[in-house]
Copies of this chain bind each other. A is one copy, B any other.
Amino acid sequence: MPHKIAILGASGYTGAELVRLIATHPAMEIVAMAANSKAGLKMADVFPHLRHLALPDLVKIEEIDFSGVDLCFCALPHATSQEVIRDLPKSLKIVDLSADFRLRDPAEYKKWYGNDHAALECQAEAVYGLTEFYRNEIRTARLVAGTGCNAATGQYALRPLIAAGVIDLDEIILDLKCAVSGAGRSLKENLLHAELSEGYHAYAVGGTHRHLGEFDQEFSAVAGRPVRVQFTPHLIPANRGILATVYVRGDADAVHETLAATYAEEPFLQVLPFGQHPSTRHIRGSNFCHIGVVADRIPGRAIVVAALDNLTKGSSGQALQNANLMLGEEETAGLMLAPCFP
């Protein structure tokens, strides 16, 4: 008997990516899909690339009978998500892809997102969904909060180094190059092809990107003292991918050894041989994260480069990985698709 799955917010890119991945999953069946603005349409009308699949029609959330659902993916916009999840049955397992339950401290939540949190009791039980570091808590969680795609990339590069004490905690700079699908399917002038193709630029410069809330929370927790990093994302004319170039102070060999040892048994985290570094083309459409370490010419400095697909390992793939744990399935089920290159 496959697990019965619902997807809320199915008309966005992360919703479509969930469907793409679950389509090859041996033990999941999508029984309900909601997209309020597109209710009444077939998924193939919204995403013609999924037209070969037998999928339920899109409905409004309130039309779903959750009694027949084992697990619900919630791919709704920030702020909306918390109100919806608050009112879902308490017996339902939920993987949330929004930012609503990532920050444990309500004050931090308000600082980065601007509004008072509307579901603090849910936030209290939510587990942070960076699978490789919260595996045990996720297995038994009812509500898992998917990480930000930038936040995931940066943490894969840095968490083991902070934990091992091999880098200077006050000298961390993350320069990220992000593909455009991370901004979703929203109608904004700077996401138009004519604006973005052949053009690229930084955004949220100076420490204003909301994913910094996650970095602050997680890195400080790992270090046992406050850690503040510099983080500058850039929008790149490509559809999928995040490349994080991370500047750290510490012994480059120790940095590499720490990452290699930490991820030695991880199915999705691939540490390249010392001195090599990854490209986004080699993880596109997959749940893999490639990480490389290079020593700088200045002694005591190293560059860590991490690459993942923002829609897969950075969002929907990670969500499915967490759902697998919550449902007692093989963690890699539906996720071993090879990257799509070229």
Contacts and interface: CB of A to CB of B under 8 A. Distances in A.
A158 interface: no
Interface string A167-202: 000000101010011010101110111111111111
A110 B294 CA distance: 24
B51 A270 contact: yes
A69 B342 CA distance: 28
Contacts of A183: 194
Interface size class of A (residues with CB under 8 A): 35 or more
A237 B237 contact: yes
A239 B342 CA distance: 6
In this complex, the member of A13, A50, A206, A285 whose beta carbon has the largest number of chain B beta carbons within 10 angstroms is A206
A56 to B, nearest CB: 16
B294 A199 contact: no
Interface string A31-72: 000000000000000011111110000000000000000000
Given A303-B206, A305-B205, A340-B340, A297 B197 contact: no
Contacts of A240: 198, 342
Given A48-B290, A199-B284, A236-B237, A207 B297 contact: yes
Given A206-B294, A206-B297, A298-B230, A49 B283 contact: yes
A194 B185 contact: yes
In this complex, the member of A185, A201, A238 whose beta carbon has the largest number of chain B beta carbons within 10 angstroms is A201
A6 to B, nearest CB: 19
Interface stretch (A80-88, A241-249, A253-261, A319-327): A241-249
Interface stretch (A97-105, A149-157, A217-225, A274-282): A274-282
Interface of A: 13, 16, 19-20, 23-24, 47-53, 173, 175, 177, 180-181, 183, 185, 187-189, 191-202, 205-208, 212, 228, 230, 232, 234, 236-241, 243, 245, 247, 267, 270, 275, 277-286, 288, 290, 294-298, 301, 303, 305, 307, 311, 336-342
Ranked 8 nearest A-B pairs via Cβ: A199-B281, A207-B297, A201-B279, A49-B339, A49-B282, A194-B342, A187-B187, A206-B294
Given A23-B338, A230-B247, 4 more contacts: A175-B247, A187-B192, A198-B280, A240-B342
